[in-house]
Structure 1
Amino acid sequence: MALKDKVLEILEDNRGRSVSGNKIAVSLGMTRSAVWKAVKQLREEGYTINAVTNRGYCLTSDNDILNEPSVISFLETKELGRKMDIFKSIDSTNNFAKSLAQLGAVNGHTIIAEQQTAGKGRMGKKFYAPNNQGIYLSVIVRPQLSVEYALMITSCAAVAVAEAIEKVSGLRCGIKWVNDLYSNGKKLCGILTEAAIGVEQGGLEYAVIGIGINVSNTSFPKELEDIATSIRAETGKNVNRSQLVAEILNRLEVRLGDICTKEFLDDYRKRSIIIGKRIIITRNDVSETVQCVDIDNLGKLVVRRDNGEEVALSTATITLLD
């Protein structure tokens, strides 16, 4: 760990309180001059650190740059997030996570970025991920599950993320099957799960759960302004992104641990914004208007056609009818 990161860790542990440069220097076995240089580097990276004569350095409570010490300070997990990499910018956290998973990365290894230049959504769509305004993370999980649970991992994650957002911000989210969180009719969050099948064991070798949340966005590109929203836009409040990242990992570990009981499906159904409504489903470029009936016990979407036939879908693009 670089000296500036060690200094940051101490400042994070005392966020909002002053710590003397001498105390930092002694605890890290470095000179006060080296502490000053480290603080200077952190300021250049965007951290607001006040220096008060005879009191020391203080990392102000409104700092919202994602960093490992800050996330860890809110973390309650055993495995998820205990190994993490944080980037200023990356093409896709999911792509990087998959490359790590293929090299044997441990369960819970988490990739976080301040910005994605090529974020991915379902069906190959691009996910809008501007700098310092959202949460873009991917978690590698190695569940002992059969292939049929692959779809349920996304559903399980949707419940966990909704719970985390509600706890940290107070904003209740609805779920649009299978992977989107909505608030007031607009998309707030997208989830993309990519899984690898183990040939020998016939089950999931690993899954990468990618999560993108609009947190502090106050504006969107023209093509998104009528369909996207953010936590700040809905609540008028800024939330601590490190706290929200940690709470997502906290809730995700709990929910994934109970995935075989399928208890999360009750909460998924309660948060559904499409059950009982007329929707348009699109598969293989063919669209059909149907009635959404339920989410079954495998996470599939149950719809009723106009002729009365009911079918359970694993994949489809959903459009809500006004």
Structure 2
Amino acid sequence: MKPKNTKDALLVLFEQNKGRYFSGEEIAETLSVSRAAVWKAVESLRSDGYAIEAVKSRGYCLSPDTDIVSAQGVGKYLRADLDLDFEVYEEVTSTNTLLKEKAAAGAREGTVIIANSQTGGKGRLGRSFYSPLNTGLYISILLRPSDMPAQEALKMTTMSAVAACRAIEAVLPETEKDRPQIKWVNDIYFHGRKVVGILTEAAMSMENGNLEYAVPGIGFNVYLPEGGFPEEIKDIAGAVLSEKIPDAKNRIAAEFLNQFFAIYRAADHGGYEAEYKKRSLVLGKQVDVIPTGGGKTRRGKVLDITDDCNLLVEFPDKTTEILSSGEVSVRPKDLLRK
């Protein structure tokens, strides 16, 4: 991504060389700007929260402990063959809402919105998604798949789930033995708590019934918010990391995009369904089947996850049903809440 101004260009230089000192003169020559412009850009980055050290006779240095998501920070970890248009915001109402507006205006596939917080984050079934400042990471991707029936839009959610698990594992300490799991259809659990939520929204062509575009939105709880989670979700929600890790947000965002597009663009999507099943928190388990429109909760055993992302459930009377995510929610009977 080409820098828009001196500030952006300086952040690229710093992000690619965290911990290294540059003299003001060296920066000015590298960026072809004046020393005054360098000072102004440094002060602007500091006002954005970047810890930039200044040492006499050594120059300026971006602290290696910095963990602020930015286009420049994400970009340095992206695969070279990924051609994405992405924008990073401090705060938005909803990354999905903003990206759907861009989709309606003709934005191309591969447009990505990343935010540090959302004031109107959206969850499944019309719920809100808690998206506080500085502790989470919120990403939406615009996709324009060719010849994909609208009913297959849910696959964007399941692809995102696998990619999110891989991204989380990329930043976990080597000593971490637990692994993220997928609670059908759109939640990632880690240490028994929900750390990622996914919502895919789409538009359909009325002419052929295919997808016009799809926007999977992914919310990561990277760190625990100060003061904890709100009362209504405090027993369910958790965080990917228990302590700060340098560049964690940029690494998670980039690795998620790397892994998602590796799956999305592979022939037959790389057979990701097998990994989705392997990571499933519900497959082979007893679950409570909860009708989304209200009604009686039933207990059943999940026998399989079908190719179109539905659940095959066996009930105590040995009858089986195929259930879609639009009809029911499930709650694993033995889901741990640590």
Q: TM-score, normalised by structure 2?
A: 0.90
Matched residue SS, 2:96: helix
The CA deviation string for residues 55-100 of structure 1, in whole angstroms up to 9 with x for no partner, is 21101111111111111000006346x2111111111000001111
Contact 2:88 2:113 in 1 (8 A): yes
Q: 2:239 maps to what in 1? A: 230
Q: 2:331 maps to what in 1? A: 319
Change (3 A) 1:262 1:247: closer
1:204-219 aligned within 5 A: 204-217=211-224, 219=228
Change (3 A) 1:159 1:114: same
Q: 1:285 maps to what in 2? A: 294
The Cα shift of 1:317 comes to: 1.3
Contact 1:121 1:127 in 2 (8 A): yes
Q: 1:41 is matched with which residue: 39, 44, 69?
A: 44
Q: 1:128 is matched with which residue: 127, 130, 141?
A: 130
1:176-255 aligned within 5 A: 176-217=183-224, 219-233=228-242, 236=243, 238=245, 240-255=248-263
Q: 2:73 is matched with which residue: 70, 75, 80?
A: 70
The Cα shift of 1:141 comes to: 1.1
Contact 1:93 1:136 in 2 (8 A): yes
Contact 2:302 2:314 in 1 (8 A): yes
Contact 2:281 2:332 in 1 (8 A): no
**Overall identity of the aligned pairs, in %:** 39
Computed over aligned residues only, the root mean square deviation of the Cα atoms, in angstroms, reads: 1.6
Amino acid in structure 1 at the alignment position of 2:137: I
C-alpha distance in 1 between matches for 2:152 and 2:267: 9
| Structure 1 unaligned regions, length at least 5 | none
Alignment length (residue pairs):
319
Amino acid in structure 2 at the alignment position of 1:185: G
C-alpha distance in 2 between matches for 1:259 and 1:184: 33
Matched residue SS, 2:87: strand
The CA deviation string for residues 125-168 of structure 1, in whole angstroms up to 9 with x for no partner, is 11011101011110111112222321112111101110111122
The Cα shift of 1:276 comes to: 1.4
Contact 1:216 1:238 in 2 (8 A): no
Matched residue SS, 1:17: coil
Q: 2:273 maps to what in 1? A: 265
1:40-189 aligned within 5 A: 40-76=43-79, 78-79=81-82, 82-144=84-146, 145-170=148-173, 172-189=179-196
The Cα shift of 1:16 comes to: 1.1
Contact 1:174 1:181 in 2 (8 A): yes
Which stretch shows the higher mean deviation, 43-52 or 281-290?
281-290
Q: TM-score, normalised by structure 1?
A: 0.94
Amino acid in structure 2 at the alignment position of 1:10: L
| Structure 2 unaligned regions, length at least 5 | none
Which stretch shows the higher mean deviation, 175-184 or 274-283?
274-283
C-alpha distance in 2 between matches for 1:127 and 1:77: 32
C-alpha distance in 2 between matches for 1:270 and 1:259: 20
1:19 corresponds to 2:22:
yes
Contact 1:137 1:210 in 2 (8 A): yes
C-alpha distance in 2 between matches for 1:261 and 1:211: 19
Contact 2:306 2:312 in 1 (8 A): yes
C-alpha distance in 2 between matches for 1:140 and 1:259: 20
Matched residue SS, 2:154: helix
Contact 1:151 1:314 in 2 (8 A): no
C-alpha distance in 2 between matches for 1:19 and 1:204: 49
